Amino acid sequence: MDWAEGSENQDIHAVVPLSFREVNLIRDEQHSLLSLIQLFHPTLQKIPAEQLSVWKLLFIFDGLDESRLSLEFNKSEVVSDVTQKSSVSVLLTNLIQGNLLPLAQVWITSRPAAANQIPPSCVNRLTEVRGFNDAQKEEYFRKRFPDENMSNRINSHIRNSRSLYIMCEVPVFCWITAVVLEHMLTTEQIGELPTTLTDMYSHFLIVQTKRKKNKYQQEHEKGPQELVEGDKEVLLKLGKLAFDNLEKGNIMFYQEDLEECGLDVKEASVYSGVCTEIFRSECEIFQKTVYSFVHLSVQEFLAAVYMFHCYVNRNKEVIEGFMKYEMNSPALDEFLSRVMEKSLQSRTGHLDLFVRFLHGLSMDSNQKILGTLLGRTSKNQRNVQAVIQRMKKISIKMSPDRGINIFHCLMEMKDRLVHQEIQEFLKSENQSEKKLSDIHCSALACMLQMSEEVLDELDLNRYNATPDGRRRLIPAVRNCRKAWLSGCGLSETHMEVVASALKSNLGHLTELDLSKNKVKDMGVEALSAGLERSNCKLETLRLVGCSLSELTCAALSSALKSNPSHLTELDLSKNMLQDVGVEHLSWFLQNPDSRLKTLRLMECGLSGLSCAALSSALKSNPSHLTELDLSKNMLQDVGVEHLSGFLHNPDCRLKTLRLVSTSVTSLFGFIMR
């Protein structure tokens, strides 16, 4: 969340940086906002409350994903006095809502999975920060390895392993990859280089364990794939810490969290390759130390290691506590499919990578890498094939983004059949004749979304698939210019995926047709969060017959006022917008930056009052609209009389006016006046 548009032109009296990592340490205490500011920034202690209330302050909250505060925006008590004491959660909620210090600007950083804690109504601007692009990935390894042969070999290997190449957008993953591949390429026991994320993290765990041993124990491993009992015990404790807190959404830990998992503080700090002890000067006033894994993905991997260990050793308490129902000695395919189904029902996708690792760990190759830590399953290869077959048949109700995770899990299990079939499909000339299964559609969505080439148009109706399969293709909207999604059974829940395409920094999408879907007002509200972004370059939006009301017009108008200069065609026909809806739209139409050329409002339950609102708005900004369709509305003669005021404007450029079946008796007379 960023400060409001235009705030860069305002005078900021003071910048107040606060880390959620530090705020967590006092989450159970009572404070006023004034005392909270002074606690973290003693230099502001002399500022009286009256002055603070009139100052323009910029609050920077770093790391919402590290927060352990319960931000309840719908239930929180209202606090408007900076000297009133309350819980830290309530204070921050009121600050974000604007009840406290309404002149203040708030900037919050967060990973995507945690960002939805802030309701869209409290967000003025959202900025996406991306990692390495393709050129920067290769540059990283060239700089990391001056030996040209080694850097070329590593870059070539990563390009050929799609999962690794995509993940290398994350700079920390590039470091993990460099650590593993450098170790493997400079030792005699090179073996097969990792091709999946699970392969990579399994090797990373071994490399870090070996480095720790050489540093602290000065011993040599008897074999590269063996873990001594002490290492396994600590890794399982770390796995429990990772798993328990992944469920809770925590990525920062304190001494009490470690103690709950049986971890000694000394053990955690010694295991510095995997769990890093972070000392920050901002925390010294509380005399507490904060711990974290080197990256969230490491936490997700160790959580999967722990979960798989519990499955192999039939730890019913952990498994049933996670699944929330009884499971008596389930087969591997049942266990993994149940975990998969749970992850697919998550809105944030917070379990996606965990589940991918869990499937990868079922592979015999990764069990060999980690030795006896995970234990062994009998007839493992046959079980894995059963898992693969069961995964391809999963058909529970899920968001299109979650469906892609099934394809990722297949790749972790090194089942490349679906990937190969989609590659053949993309090369074929008669794509509309080839039948696609639901899992094929998820794979296709993933590959189109990640492709370096922007798709010119995505027409869901041209694919020979089930209705659910077509809906799984929606994520590909993020990497296309024209998206035709008419009549595909979409609902308001699918609009969040489409909105993410509009929010994207890339801004490819210019034409969007969502007609004949039950988008409803809530769906348009989600879309509006994308339409208002300055990077959204949408030119055409069609929402014909989408069960919309006047509330849609209010949301659209508000969004388009923030970003008015790109949309040139808007079709809202066959929705019950009524006069109040058109009145909302007129706010946008009179914006001097509006470039709208075509407006279609056929069969929208309008009367002559709509014409009055349109005429008033268009007289203020008459020079762009060239087509106006008001057919099948009860405009009556008085409505056309209102329109004539706009039509007589010398700057009017209207070429097409449709008034079919609008109960008009003397249109020519009104226009000629």
Which tens digits make up the pLDDT trace of 584-608?
A: 999 888 888 899 999 999 999 999 9
Q: Considering just the CA atoms, what is the radius of gyration of the chain in Å?
A: 29
Answer yes or no: is 463 within a domain: no
User: Into how many domains does the chain fold?
Assistant: 4
Answer yes or no: is 47 within a domain: yes
Looking at the predicted structure, is the pLDDT value of residue 582 above 90? yes
Q: What percent of the chain has pLDDT over 70?
A: 88
Q: What is the pLDDT of residue 190?
A: 63
Q: What is the pLDDT of residue 278?
A: 42
Domain range enclosing 666: 477-672
Looking at the predicted structure, is the pLDDT value of residue 4 above 60? no
CA dist 290 and 595 (Å) reads 52
> Where does a domain end: 326, 356, 391?
391
Distances (CA, A) of 263 to 92, 269, 288, 477: 32, 10, 17, 46
Answer yes or no: is 565 within a domain: yes
Answer yes or no: is 662 within a domain: yes
Note the pLDDT tens digit of each residue in 76-130.
789 999 999 999 999 999 999 999 998 889 999 987 767 778 887 787 777 777 7
140 and 91 share a domain? no
420 φ/ψ angles, rounded to the nearest 5 degrees: -65, -40
CA dist 594 and 584 (Å) reads 14
Q: Which residue has the higher pLDDT, 610 or 21?
A: 610
- Do the Cβ atoms of 665 and 638 come closer than 8 Å? no
355 and 379 share a domain? yes
Answer yes or no: is 157 within a domain: yes
168 and 249 share a domain? no
- Do the Cβ atoms of 295 and 176 come closer than 8 Å? yes
Q: What is the pLDDT of residue 279?
A: 33
- Tokens representing residue 420 in the block: 């190969």
CA dist 518 and 178 (Å) reads 48
Q: What is the pTM of this model?
A: 0.80
Q: What is the pLDDT of residue 381?
A: 53
Q: How many CB atoms lie within 10 A of CB 244?
A: 18
167 and 99 share a domain? no
In order, the DSSP letters of 7-75 are GGGSPPSEEEEEEHHHHGGGTTSEE-HHHHHHHH-GGGTT--HHHHHHS-EEEEEE-GGG------TTT
Q: What is the mean pLDDT of the chain?
A: 84
Regarding beta strands 656-658 and 627-629, do their DSSP bridges make them parallel or antiparallel, or are they unpaired? parallel
Alpha helix stretches (DSSP H) within 293-427:
296-312, 316-323, 332-344, 352-361, 364-369, 380-391, 400-412, 417-427
516 and 584 share a domain? yes
What is the CATH number for 509? 3.80.10.10
Note the pLDDT tens digit of each residue in 460-486.
999 999 999 999 999 999 999 999 999
8-state DSSP, 193:
P
Q: What is the pLDDT of residue 140?
A: 95
> Where does a domain end: 156, 187, 216?
216
50 and 143 share a domain? no
Answer yes or no: is 180 within a domain: yes
In 3D space, the residue among 211, 256, 32, 3 whose CA is nearest the CA of residue 107 turns out to be 3
Half-sphere exposure of 620 (CA within 13 A, CB side): 14
CA dist 653 and 644 (Å) reads 13
- Do the Cβ atoms of 83 and 34 come closer than 8 Å? yes
Answer yes or no: is 302 within a domain: yes
- Tokens representing residue 333 in the block: 């395919």
